[in-house]
Amino acid sequence: MIEIPRCSVMTPELFNSRYKNKRPVILTATISDWLPVTTWKPEYLEWALSEEGAQVKVLVSHDNQHFINHPDVTELVAMPSRDFVSMVFRCSERDENENTKQRNYKRVYLRTLSMPDRLYRDVIVPKQVTDLAEKIYVEKPGRNLQIYDKPDCGIEQLVEESYSSVTQSVDEDPRSVRTTKYGSLVHQTEHYSVADSEDSDYDSMAESGISVYPFFRQATMQLWIGTRGNVTPLHYDRNHGLLAQIVGRKELLLFSPEDTSNLYPYPSYSNRSHTSRVNLRELETEGSRFPKLEDAQRYHCILQPGELLYMPPFWWHDVTSLDDCVSITLPWDLDTSDPIPASMLM
């Protein structure tokens, strides 16, 4: 088993030559003092999730362990956001009080397919990350592609403006201390750059000769909030993935796309072709059914709060929540020049 390397300072040069499209890596310092990491406590999450009405839709697993959005594995259940947050977080407080070793509880997983507005205000993608991904803007339909090299040239003012209007509209924010290591929320724009903005911002950039399509978009960011012991079974995604760990720890096993034939994916005609038929938790029984699994090279890590994991496209991953967890996935699309591994074209 290979431990996924950790890196505290990542330059675009190092990233492009060593990791991009090649192998996973953990960035240890990029989001360690990020607003979500330092301020997303249960009562704040409860407030933020209640914005769209009192209900949230969460996945409940048929076997109380595995979670993918597929009717064979889970069902989607609506519940009051307050109940959901209590189910996830107050449970562990209660368990600690009762000193129980084994929790007998219903596991739940909230997995949004876009970032809820109130939480999105806190998700200011660190400049170090936008720098890594900066060369892969996608052409906006009907416009000329023009890549900007430094996210803070020309766009900075728009960012400042849109961000100051955000700070005026968060009056009810229940976090009593809304300051960070850097001072206030507004002050943070000196250290971070917003990669996503309203479409109108992009229109005005286009007018001033800058035409970009945001790749860290609210609509494609995913929020994951769930109970300890939740498993997202072995699957791959077609995009570059950044998994930002906000609360709790997650254990991941990864496999390269070159090992695809050793991982027994569902058939290509099925709607689960990006998932594996192997249950990595039942290897004693599964091992004999899936003998080639032994040949697959495993990559492993335990992702800590404040760490950011880069997963190249098509890398298989299996995720176990070791604690009650909050994470964010920041995906960015494949570039047209990205190689598709031969193993994925068969």
Ligand X SMILES: O=C(O)CCC(=O)C(=O)O
Task: Give the CB-nearest residue to ligand X.
Answer: 232
254 lies in the binding site for ligand X (CB under 6 A): no
Run of H or E including 27: strand 25-27
Residue 319 binding ligand X, by CB under 6 A? yes
Q: Is 227 in the site for ligand X (CB under 6 A)?
A: no
Give min distance, CB of 343 to ligand X, in A: 19
202 or 310: whose CB is closer to ligand X? 310
The candidate with the shortest Cα–Cα distance to 3, out of 30, 20, 24, is 24
Please pick, from the candidates 59, 74, 329, 332, the single residue that binds ligand X as defined by CB under 6 A: 329
Q: Which residue from 243, 254, 308, 326 is in contact with ligand X, where contact means CB under 6 A?
A: 243
188 touches ligand X by CB under 6 A:
no
Tell me the closest approach of the beta carbon of residue 103 to ligand X, in angstroms.
18
Nearer to ligand X, 194 or 326 (CB): 326
Query: Which segment (47-55, 168-176, 237-245, 273-281) binds ligand X by CB under 6 A?
Result: 237-245
Assign 166 to helix, strand or coil: helix
Distance CA 277, CA 228 (A): 23
Nearest residue to 123 via CA among 327, 279, 296: 327
Q: Between 155 and 308, whose beta carbon lies closer to ligand X? A: 308
Number of residues in contact with ligand X under rule CB under 6 A: 10
Specify the stretch interacting with ligand X by CB under 6 A; choose among 24-32, 50-58, 77-85, 236-244.
Answer: 236-244
Residue among 241, 248, 265, 305 that touches ligand X (CB under 6 A): 241
The helices-and-strands tally (H runs, E runs) of the chain is 10, 14
Smaller CB distance to ligand X: residue 212 or 242? 242
> Could you give the CA distance from residue 258 to residue 156 in angstroms, rounded to a whole number?
41
State yes or no: residue 236 binds ligand X (CB under 6 A): no
Q: Which of 61, 128, 197, 232 binds ligand X (CB under 6 A)?
A: 232
Strands lying side by side in the sheet with 241-247: 6-7, 25-27, 308-311, 241-247, 325-329, 222-226, 108-112, 55-61, 74-80
Amino acid residing at 69 = N
Q: Which residues contact 205 (CB under 8 A, 6 or more apart)?
A: 154, 155, 158, 211, 212
Contact 88, 324 (CB under 8 A): yes
Single-letter residue type at 215 = F
Taking the complex as a whole, the smallest distance from the CB of residue 53 to ligand X amounts, in Å, to 25
- 233 interacts with ligand X by CB under 6 A: no
Cα torsion 63, 252, 92, 122: sign: negative
Interaction between residue 338 and ligand X (CB under 6 A)? no
Q: Which residues bind ligand X (CB under 6 A)?
A: 224, 232, 237, 241, 243, 250, 317, 319, 327, 329
